[in-house]
Amino acid sequence: MKNPLHAEFCADLATQHRVSIVHNERIAQSTYRLRFEAPELAQRITPGQFVMVRLSGCDDPILGRPFALYDTVLSDTGDAIGLDIVYLVLGKMTARLSAMQPGQQLDVWGPLGNGFTPSPAAHLLLVAGGIGQTPFPAVAQEALGQRVYGHPPRFAPRAESVTLLYGARNFSYLAGLDDFERIGVRLQISTDDGSRGHHGFVTDLLKFELANSQTPLQVLCCGPEPMMEKVAEICDHANAPCQVSLETPMACGIGICFSCVAKVRDAAGEWDYKRTCVEGPVFEASRIEW
């Protein structure tokens, strides 16, 4: 086994930038979409990767926070020049971020993490709970052949169809539905209170989709850990391949502090701690020791 401090495990391709906010708008209950220009980041990042964001000139909170790529922003000539991230206001950092205006500055470093691994599948099932839908607009556009990400551009097998199974506490927290419809993603919604779609858990929708699928599929999942654990269990029972993007709290984002470790099994079935920020955040669901 290689030393975990080996160079291949370090985020040595990440770069740091001071960026200006272009837009910061509310799109659902306590949910905001933030845009900033960062051409170098935008040209290199791939679906499922993330960036660390810190408020410039502010030492409270002193640490940055991880935010998944929602999508890249293109110039009139089709070049990637900026990033969109979508976040839920939960604590001091996101509360202060939600009050920031265009022109104010942020410190951003990335791209970070491994992202989702494109896999050949006729039907791509995206399972999201809470704010877990944020990595999926880029995933869906890549899978449907609408966008290319990374430098050099990476190859992604084409999916015939993409379905988003999206669960939230109530309809007011559903964010970005128009974006997914514009891409051509089929939407299946669940809410805890029945205010929209299925009255129940998003895992109920997953069971139905897996039971009625007639084509090879791939499941990608992001959201609260109990939900992802249940998704992993359902996919294992159905023999369906599944990747999960862990939402483990992070401090540095570059593999130094070891605060974001998760228990991950190897091919022999033995588990060890892996850093979500560099060896993840995406893992095969069957390898996680939940």
- What number is the average pLDDT over the span 177-206? 97
* One-letter amino acid for residue 145 of the chain: G
Domains located in the chain, CATH noted: 7-112 (2.40.30.10), 123-287 (3.40.50.80)
Report how far residue 220's alpha carbon sits from residue 20's, in angstroms, rounded to the nearest whole number.
32
Report how far residue 135's alpha carbon sits from residue 167's, in angstroms, rounded to the nearest whole number.
15
CB-based burial of residue 8 (10 Å sphere; 0-12 exposed, 13-18 middle, 19+ buried)? exposed
Over residues 82-123, the pLDDT tens digits come to 999 999 999 999 999 999 999 999 999 999 999 999 988 999
Residue with token string 């997914």: 180
- For 43-61, letters b (16+ CB in 10 Å) and e give bbbbbbbbbbbbbeeeeee
pTM of the predicted structure, to 2 decimals:
0.93
Residue 172 exposure: Cα atoms within 13 Å on the Cβ side: 3
Over residues 232-279, the pLDDT tens digits come to 999 999 999 999 999 898 999 998 999 999 999 988 889 999 999 999
**Confidence at residue 4, expressed as pLDDT on a 0 to 100 scale:** 45
Helix (H) or strand (E) holding 205: helix 202-212
Distance of CA 228 to the CA centre of its chain: 13
3-state SS assignment for residue 173: helix
Question: Bridge-partner residues for 39, per DSSP?
Answer: none
Largest CA distance in the chain: 54
For 277, other C-beta atoms within 10 Å of its C-beta total 28
User: Are 23 and 34 within 8 A, CB to CB?
Assistant: yes
The Cα angle at residue 1 between residues 252 and 270, in degrees rounded to 5: 90
Phi, psi at 112, each rounded to 5°: -125, 155
Share of the chain above pLDDT 90, in %: 86
Mean pLDDT rounded to a whole number for the chain = 93
**Confidence at residue 7, expressed as pLDDT on a 0 to 100 scale:** 45
Least confident window among 184-188, 196-200, 255-259: 255-259
- What number is the average pLDDT over the span 28-45? 97
Share of the chain above pLDDT 70, in %: 97
Cα-only R_g, the chain: 18
- What number is the average pLDDT over the span 159-171? 97
**Confidence at residue 241, expressed as pLDDT on a 0 to 100 scale:** 96
For residue 21, what are its two tokens? 């906010």
Residues contacting 226, CB < 8 A, separation 6+ = none
**Confidence band, pLDDT 50/70/90 cuts, at residue 9:** low
Report how far residue 158's alpha carbon sits from residue 123's, in angstroms, rounded to the nearest whole number.
10
**Confidence at residue 1, expressed as pLDDT on a 0 to 100 scale:** 40
3-state SS assignment for residue 156: coil
